[in-house]
Amino acid sequence: MKILVPVKRVIDYNVKPRVKADGTGVDLQNVKMSMNPFDEIAVEEAIRLKEKGVATEIVAVSVGPQKAQETLRTALAMGADRAILVMTDDEVEPLAVAKILKAIADEEAPGLVILGKQAIDDDSNQTGQMLAALLGRPQGTFASAVTVEGDSVTVTREVDGGLETVKLAMPAVVTTDLRLNEPRYASLPNIMKAKSKPLATKAPADYGVDTAPRLKTLKVAEPPVRSAGIKVADVDALVAKLKEMGVA
Ligand code: AMP
């Protein structure tokens, strides 16, 4: 069974984003970029399924600029077998990504597509769901456990107030939540080996997908600045202060 893992190049999660002065977006000049953390979890899960003998090949896909190659090389260094870069300098919205992934899934016929539950730059949480709908295949979102048995995959889902377990007929789409696994670091020899693994470069037009945006960003603003805290002398003063603020 083949597994397709879409990986997005995003602003590194340790970086504090700065909003552009004109409020049109986040400033990405000279900012560290990395693989979306939920996608690292997706790559890790695919590798574990391969190590268990469930999967035979892992194909990583990224839709993005030339530099997204680095993200794909990271996936290859972790253990993916080959990669596809669908190159575009446009900002691609989830629907366009889902359409491209559908076309690739039609070509590659993976048993599973494992995506992140959301990209930490746009926080959309849409691509996996849209892909499942376009493919007409079942989806198990927010996975905290994934078990493949025969032609089906059992997904434990993190839902409000607990866990839900669903069984999906494969081919299926799974999106990863934080607690699914802890992604491995790529070792130096594997980083070297990844340089010679196959990486195909395509364009959205090769899949007949128009990436023109459907949404217009009206404004991006910094979160409100938090006011400074105060120190109180003891518990009585704390309780008095909380009463004064109307929260106790
Ligand atoms: P989103 O719906 O934008 O929050 O993204 C959810 C997931 O879809 C991500 O964690 C990735 O696995 C995948 N994805 C989104 N955008 C891209 C992209 N440009 N290239 C590859 N995968 C993507």
pLDDT of 176-191, one tens digit each?
Answer: 999 999 999 999 999 9
- Of all atoms in ligand 1, which is nearest to the CA of residue 116? 10
> Which residue out of 74, 84, 127 has the highest number of ligand 1 atoms within 8 Å of its CB and is therefore the one to mutate?
127
Q: Please give the pLDDT value at position 245.
A: 87
Predicted TM-score (pTM) of this structure: 0.92
State how far the Cα of 151 lies from the Cα of 18, in Å rounded to an integer: 46
Residues sharing a CB contact under 8 Å with residue 95, sequence separation 6 or more, in sequence order: 126, 130, 214
Distance 233 CA to ligand 1 centre (A): 49
Structural domains for the chain: 2-245 (3.40.50.620)
pLDDT in tens, 132-164: 999 999 999 999 999 999 999 999 999 998 999
CB 165 within 8 A of CB 156: yes
Task: Find out whether 202 and 209 touch, Cβ atoms under 8 Å.
Answer: no
Distance 242 CA to ligand 1 centre (A): 43
Please say whether the beta carbons of 194 and 76 come within 8 A. Answer: yes
